[in-house]
Amino acid sequence: MDERKQELLRNLPKIDEMMLRLERTDRLAGFSRELVKEACRSVVEELRGRILADTAKTKELRLPTKEAAAERAAAIVEGFGAYRLRRVINATGVILHTNLGRAPLCREALERVVEVSRGYSNLEYDLEQGERGLRYDHIRRLLCALTGAEDALVVNNNAAAVLLVLNSLAEGREAIVSRGELVEIGGEFRIPDVMAKSGARLKEVGTTNRTRLADYERAITPETGLILKVHTSNFRVVGFTEEADLASLVELGKRRGLTVMDDLGSGCFVELDRYGLEREPTVRDCVAAGVDVVTFSGDKLLGGPQAGIILGRRNVLERIRNNPLNRALRIDKLTLAALEATLVKYLRPEEALSDIRVLRALTEPLEGVRKRARRLAALVRRDLPEGMSVSLVDGMSMAGGGSLPMREIPTVLVGVRTARLSSAALEERLRRGALPVIVRVADDMVLIDLRTIDPEEVPLIRTALKAAAEGQAR
Ligand SMILES: *Cc1c(COP(=O)(O)O)cnc(C)c1O
């Protein structure tokens, strides 16, 4: 090792001295000593690593002053206390954006979370009988009333619901699925993989584009435990296609004494075709078709918290509820409180459409979106940062998140250009700002889609744009 390196190593800051220095400033008062020490150690280790790394740069390497080294450690400790999971503004126009937390919760859902979790609750306590109760009972009647199902159960998410149902009803046996429905939802959820983990054996029938009822029927053997239908929620096979509809699968199941399950994926309660959208089977349609068990997400088209909802016949649900795996996948009280409030909204469908944000975004007439776009453009123009220009652009929003495949919804965007920054640089500053705004970039413009933006977010976007243009990115 050369002498320069050895000298640098000898002069590395001492952890004890850094600690003393920090204690004297009071800056980290109240933080645990262990945490501060660990931060000091990581600063020293990082410097040591840089010295030892055999690069030409070693020659130019200078050690920080003692103050600067302590300052770095303090910044690390304070950094732990800065929230990393944060609110962002979704200006992408993708209504159910899995990376951006899918469905925003309605006001009542948030209030119920606070109310129920601030103190103790009757989560598993029957207030009338004064004895142990079931957490699922709080929303069972509501779910049944809204969907026509006999019984209901909720778990952590729909992936868990599918796993639990398959394991409860088809472990060690065959589950028949159409080749056209062996979907990958994203985020590592593939039907064949979940099936394998559940212990059910996949029996594929038909082809990618065509599967007939006779294909299912031929596949039935004494080994068959279940017929599974999966809603292809993020793609569509178009052209020469055929699938067996749910009603005929239900009829087949009845005739052959087999349970029929439908993984609906999104689980919509509202007839979206009334609002100019593609027809999506509602949960009620699916239950009415006579299926034995249906699963869907709480945070897709339902617009509530992450959850997996399982509906179906009482005797089938009883087997699922009593599976020990259910305990491992169980829903927590915060989710339950938010889900209950979201479901209550659906008792008055008009209220659901106006208060549940994903439904509002999906169904809002274009004129409302245009109005917000005009308002944002006007706000920005009022004191336009130097070199910035804004314009209204017609375009398309996306339902997203494995809900309505191929569904594009007309929208109005605000396009922003600046003379000083490329659109990529502006996008980055907006993303890294104090309140991150996530945008699209196209045609060398930053595009802000007003369909996914709430009225109260409009002034916040203006503030973010101003800060970004003036170079106040963090
Ligand atoms: C989204 C989806 C899932 C997974 O649901 P999560 O709630 O995200 O776990 C399963 N199946 C289908 C068909 C889906 O669309």
Residue 194 is part of a domain; what is its CATH number? 3.40.640.10
Please report the pLDDT score of residue 2 as a whole number.
81
Is residue 88 within 8 A of residue 435, CB to CB? The reply is yes
Alpha-carbon gap, residue 358 to 242, rounded angstroms: 31
Which residue, judged by its Cα, is nearest atom 1 of ligand 1?
A: 265
Q: Who has greater pLDDT, 85 or 266?
A: 85
- Select from 158, 191, 235, 236 the residue to mutate for testing ligand 1; criterion: most ligand atoms less than 8 Å from CB: 158
Instruction: Render pLDDT for 395-423 as a digit per residue (tens, 0 to 9).
Output: 999 998 766 655 789 999 999 999 989 99
Residue 21 counted as domain residue: yes
The answer to whether residues 381 and 337 belong to one domain is no
d(CA 83, CA 31): 16
pLDDT of residue 187: 63
Q: Are residues 227 and 319 in the same domain?
A: yes
Identify the CA nearest to 269 among candidates 398, 108, 397, 148.
148
Tell which wins on pLDDT, 473 or 73.
Answer: 73
**Same domain (yes/no): 47, 140:** no
Tokens 């059910």 belong to residue: 200
Considering the domain architecture, whether residues 141 and 284 belong to the same structural domain is answered as: yes
What distance in angstroms lies between residue 178's CA and the mean position of ligand 1's atoms? 17
Q: Mean pLDDT across the stretch 122-129?
A: 96
Please check whether residues 191 and 302 belong to one and the same domain.
yes
303 lines ligand 1 (CB under 6 A): no
Rounded distance between C-alpha atoms, residue 29 and residue 27, angstroms: 6
Range of the domain at 347: 105-355
- Of the candidate ranges 153-157, 191-195, 215-219, 444-448, the one whose mean pLDDT is the lowest: 191-195
Structure-model confidence comparison of residues 189 and 406, the more confident one: 189
- What percent of the chain is modeled with pLDDT above 70? 95
The pLDDT of residue 474: 43
Task: Specify whether the CB–CB gap between 228 and 177 falls below 8 A.
Answer: yes
**Is 11 in contact with 63 (CB distance < 8 Å)?**
yes
Q: Count how many domains the chain has.
A: 3
Hey, whose CA ends up nearest to atom 12 of ligand 1?
265
- For ligand 1, the distance from its centroid to the CA atom of residue 262, given in whole angstroms, is 12
Give tens-digit pLDDT for 439-460: 999 999 999 999 999 999 999 9
User: Of all atoms in ligand 1, which is nearest to the CA of residue 159?
Assistant: 9
Instruction: Answer yes or no: do 417 and 341 share one domain.
Output: no
Q: pLDDT at residue 358 above 60?
A: yes
Alpha-carbon gap, residue 178 to 242, rounded angstroms: 11
Give the mean pLDDT of the chain: 92
Among candidate residues 309, 331, 355, the one where a domain is terminated:
355
- Do 429 and 334 sit in the same domain of this protein? no
Q: Which of 12-21, 121-130, 210-219, 398-407 has the lowest mean pLDDT?
A: 398-407
406 and 304 assigned to the same domain:
no
Least Cα distance to 395 among 102, 93, 96 occurs for: 93
Write down the pLDDT at residue 249.
95
How many angstroms is it from 264 CA to the middle of ligand 1? 8
Residues 268/299, Cβ–Cβ less than 8 Å = no
**Does the beta carbon of 308 sit less than 6 angstroms from any atom of ligand 1?**
yes
Cβ–ligand 1 distance for 185 under 6 Å, the answer: yes
- Asked whether residue 371 carries a pLDDT value surpassing 90, the answer given is yes
**Per-residue confidence (pLDDT) for residue 473, from 0 to 100:** 44
Our mutation pick for probing the ligand 1 site, out of 154, 165, 178, 233, counting the most ligand atoms within 8 A of Cβ, is: 233
- The CB of 161 under 6 Å from ligand 1? The reply is no
In a domain, 219, yes or no: yes
pLDDT at 236: 63
Please give the average per-residue pLDDT across 97-107, as a whole number.
95
Q: Look at residue 232 in the predicted model and tell me its pLDDT.
A: 79
Q: What is this structure's pTM?
A: 0.91
CATH number for position 373 = 3.90.1150.180
Query: pLDDT over 90 for what percent of the chain?
Result: 78
Does residue 43 sit in the same domain as residue 186?
A: no
Q: Is 158 in the pocket of ligand 1 (CB under 6 A)?
A: yes
Q: From residue 46, how far is each of 32, 58, 217, 298, 473 by CA, in Å?
A: 22, 14, 65, 44, 26
Q: List the one residue out of 363, 348, 473, 353 whose CA is nearest residue 409.
A: 363
Is 438 domain-assigned? yes
Q: Are 287 and 215 found together in one domain?
A: yes
For residues 339 and 417, membership in a common domain is answered with no
Q: Which is more confidently placed, 116 or 184?
A: 116
| Boundary (domain end) residue, out of 47, 80, 113 | 80
Instruction: Answer whether residue 474 is part of any domain.
Output: no
**Does 298 share its domain with 373?**
no
Question: Is the distance from CB of 53 to CB of 60 less than 8 angstroms?
Answer: no
Query: Which mutation among 182, 296, 297, 299 tests ligand 1's pocket best, with the greatest number of atoms within 8 A of CB?
Result: 297
Question: Between β-strands 125-126 and 131-132, what pairing exists: parallel, antiparallel or unpaired?
Answer: antiparallel
Interval 89-104 mean pLDDT: 96
- Residue 333 pLDDT grade (very low, low, confident, very high; cuts 50, 70, 90): very high
SS3 labels along the chain: CCHHHHHHHHCCCCHHHHHHHHHHHCCCCCCCHHHHHHHHHHHHHHHHHHHHCCCHHHHHCCCCCHHHHHHHHHHHHHHHHCCCCCCCEECCCECCCHHHCCCCCCHHHHHHHHHHHHCCCCCCEECCCCEECCCCHHHHHHHHHHHCCCEEEEECCHHHHHHHHHHHHHCCCEEEEEHHHCCEEECCEEHHHHHHHHCCEEEEECCCCECCHHHHHHHCCCCEEEEEEECCCCCCCCCCCECCCHHHHHHHHHHHCCEEEEEEECCECCCHHHHCCCCCCEHHHHHHCCCCEEEEECCCCCCCCCCEEEEECHHHHHHHHCCHHHHHCECCHHHHHHHHHHHHHCCCHHHHHHHCHHHHHHHCCHHHHHHHHHHHHHHHHHCCCCCEEEEEEEEEEECCCCCCCCCEEEEEEEEEEECCCCHHHHHHHHHCCCCCEECEEECCEEEEEHHHCCHHHHHHHHHHHHHHHCCCCC
- Segment 349-353 mean pLDDT: 95
Domain boundary among the residues 355, 375, 403 is at: 355
